Amino acid sequence: MPTNSGPTLLRRNMSFLGRWLRNPKAVGAVIPSGKSLAAAMVAEIDREAEGAVIELGGGTGNITAALLDAGFPGQSITVIERDPTFHRLIAQRFPDVQVLQGDAAKLRRLLATAGVGKVKAIVSSLPLLSIPDRICLQIISEAMAVLGEDGTLVQFTYGPASPVSRRILTRLGLRGTRASWVMDNIPPAAVWRYHRPGIAAGRQEADQGTVKPLQKRSA
């Protein structure tokens, strides 16, 4: 059962702030996602579809809590968190949820080792705008490789533009849509959905795990 008492919530927020101060590019925000933002992300997932829900960058677990509050069974949720402190926090907070410590750029290997089968949706809190293009390409490629044809990647960002660059979308044959604005989040955030509009040109490379590096823009 998620714990959201005042002192407990304050400790989680202070822990999040401390991790941000030590490595702001890896954490990407000063405080965790608010309840409204977490709910807006979860609302983009089809509850009736078959398969697991994967969360990338679990942080202090606010989106995990929103998934459980929305009725997703704990055993259908797998959280990927690289930071050992956040990994322990989420595992202790949600004992019914599978929490894996690892890198989202190696998502298929992590899920295969953990025995996760079909995936219907991925929700991501990763700070994509702070991640180098080549790593971001690998993360998005891995995410789309584990999703089915109708699967959806949900990502939030603090700016108006897509957090996944147009070059990556074109490279992988994806379409991005801003699904909602969450103005009462601190700071205000946008929720984006990414999916394949059909048989994408980059599908085979994503499935095979061989992604060519992005070309640098000419000066």
CATH for 71 = 3.40.50.150
Is residue 83 a part of any domain in this protein?
yes
- The pLDDT tens digits of the residues spanning 93-112 come to 999 999 999 999 999 999 99
Residues whose CB is less than 8 angstroms from the CB of residue 149 and which lie 6 or more positions away in sequence, other chains included: 196
pLDDT at 92 over 70: yes
Strands (E), the chain: 52-56, 77-81, 98-101, 119-124, 147-157, 175-182, 189-195
Is residue 101 a part of any domain in this protein?
yes
CA 185 to chain CA centroid, Å, is 17
In total, how many domains does the chain have? Answer: 1
Under the phi-then-psi rule, with left for phi > 0, alpha for psi from -120 to 50, and beta for the rest, what region is 58?
alpha
Provide the mean pLDDT of the chain: 83
Indicate yes or no: pTM above 0.85: no
Position 30 confidence tier, pLDDT thresholds 50, 70, 90: very low
Is residue 172 a part of any domain in this protein?
yes
Is residue 132 a part of any domain in this protein?
yes
Residues whose CB is less than 8 angstroms from the CB of residue 80 and which lie 6 or more positions away in sequence, other chains included: 54, 55, 56, 57, 58, 100, 102, 104, 107, 110
Instruction: Give mean pLDDT, residues 155-174.
Output: 94
Is residue 166 a part of any domain in this protein?
yes
Is residue 28 a part of any domain in this protein?
no
Helix 84-93 to helix 6-22 angle (10° resolution) is 160
Interatomic CA distance for residues 217 and 161, integer angstroms: 19
Is residue 162 a part of any domain in this protein?
yes
Instruction: Give mean pLDDT, residues 200-204.
Output: 40
Side chain identity at 162, as an amino acid letter?
Answer: S
- The pLDDT tens digits of the residues spanning 53-72 come to 999 999 999 999 999 999 99
In sequence order, the β-bridge partners of residue 190 are: 157, 181
Q: Residue 144: which domain range?
A: 33-208
Is residue 141 a part of any domain in this protein?
yes
